[in-house]
Copies of this chain bind each other. A is one copy, B any other.
Amino acid sequence: MTRMIVAGAQLGAIQKADNRESVVERMIELMNEAAAKGATMIVYPELALTTFFPRWYMPDRNEVDSWFEHEMPNRATQPLFERARDLAMAMTFGYAELTPDGHHFNTSILTNRKGEIVGKYRKVHLPGHDEYDTGRAFQHLEKRYFEPGDLGFRVWRNEGVIMGMAICNDRRWPETFRCMGLQGVELVTIGYNTPSVNSQMSAEGLEKRLFHSDLSLQAGAYQNATFVVGVAKAGVEDGHPLMGGSIIVDPDGFVLARAATEEDELIVAECDFEKCAFGKSTIFDFQRHRRIEHYGRITSQTGAIVEV
């Protein structure tokens, strides 16, 4: 298979009071629409099943854990998996994962068209902070509620296409895309929850933040000759605005489809995965052009070191 109609299923706001079952109903509605449009792969956002809870400071660990899933699929998501199998729809979505041995991750899974889970990713680049921060307009406590992902950046051949996953802030890091590019990735899926305003610089509003999201997704696509699908959870959650801007990007870095709203909204594009070959075999033929002997700092050094 070299062509696939891929859908990005942007979700509008999910309030704190909304239960998972009601969200899954919305996800199934978008899946039905995707199937009607011929899609065989659907991409949902990060932490798709609940409100973006890391904005809330919760000293009680039990309250925190109420936002996590103990297994996948589970009772609330079973109807989504069943519908996906019925429609022969591959999918990926994000959720908060609590492992049997008590670890917390910001996770996404990938399924094939039989509804079987074939891949799992745990978010590597956690943004934000781990203690209550009085200097912010609102909290972003991902570093408190999650551990950094321990699975690295893997890819899977799913329905004939080499797919990889990343989550939200991962998209701003070129390392994310390169690690998958070095495994021949053809489709990178990235869900996100991105506040419409920078909590540490209120002047940085929606327009600038959409630009940064586009820039990161487009550069990652171009520089690795891969399709990229970025999908938002958007809208105003209990007074807190999240940006939309879901896009599907081709291996040249061009936007094929873009969400127009901050609501539940489906975008689709027919992806011809043969288009990845030109970039991968010419200007981004890594084997011919990369010079790893000069990249040492990228893996030997975490932070910036100013020596001059």
Partner-B contacts on A (CB < 8 A): 124-127, 148-149, 152-153, 155-157, 162, 169, 172-175, 178-179, 181-184, 200-201, 208, 211-212, 215-216, 218-219, 222-223, 252-254, 278, 280, 282-292, 294-308
- Contact between A223 and B173 (Cβ–Cβ < 8 Å)? yes
A298 touches B182 (CB 8 A): yes
A157, B169: Cα distance in complex, Å: 31
Known: A169-B283, A183-B305. 11 other contacts (CB 8 A): A149-B294, A162-B308, A169-B289, A174-B223, A201-B282, A212-B252, A215-B215, A215-B222, A292-B299, A292-B302, A298-B298
Name which residue of chain B comes closest to A217, CB basis: B219
Nearest chain B CB to A38's CB is how many angstroms away? 25
- Residues of B contacting A148 with CB < 8 Å? 291
A288-B142 Cα distance, complex, nearest whole Å: 13
> A287 contacts which chain B residues (CB < 8 A)?
302-304
Q: How far is the CA of A183 from the CA of B297 in the complex (A)?
A: 9
Which of B182, B208, B216, B298 is close to A223, meaning CB atoms less than 8 Å apart? B216
Q: Is A286 within 8 A of B300, CB to CB?
A: no
A181 to B306, CA, bound (A): 10
The CA of A223 and the CA of B304, in the complex, are separated in Å by 13
